[in-house]
Structure 1
Amino acid sequence: MRGATHVSNYCKFDSQLLTLFTSSLYIAGLLTAVLLASWLTARHGRRPSMVLGGLAYLAGAAVSGGAVNVSMAIIGRALLGVGLGFANQVIN
């Protein structure tokens, strides 16, 4: 970046930790919807899946809100992704 005269906002931050933080929600949501929520919804119905998804989302919000370091923030985002994965599976 030192020799560059114009720096794009898309390439400004080259951090794997920031990428993990951003992607953790999507990866957790995808894996949950495909592996866990589809099985649970087919076996036990929509209501238990929605309850579990809501609890995971609330836990993720609590962990993210109380995060004191990046690891806690990533875990909180992953729990938010689990909640979204359950919700996505239930509405499909």
Structure 2
Amino acid sequence: MSEHGDVQGEFEFDHRWAEAAEHKEPSARARMLAARWKENPPGPVPFRGEVGPVTPRRSSWISTAVVLGCVAAVIVLLGYAQTHGLR
């Protein structure tokens, strides 16, 4: 039984040994991109993309007014229904 414990200690992964390796294999994604770019290299990409035309956005106060108007209409309808005995 003690022999089994000693053998298991031999097979533990040593992170220090792995980090000290001289050659590190690239990741699968890096290998895939390198193979793809060997056949079809990517074009130059600017640091910042070109800014297209800016479309005007609706003001947020319009949306707020519509929501508050709907809430007020519901309150008025509920009050009307309650005062006239409608269910």
TM-score, normalization: structure 1? 0.29
Q: Indicate the structure whose relative CO is greater, using CA pairs within 8 Å and at least 6 residues apart.
A: 1
TM-score, normalization: structure 2? 0.30
Q: Which has the higher helix share?
A: 1
Report the structure number with the largest CA radius of gyration: 2
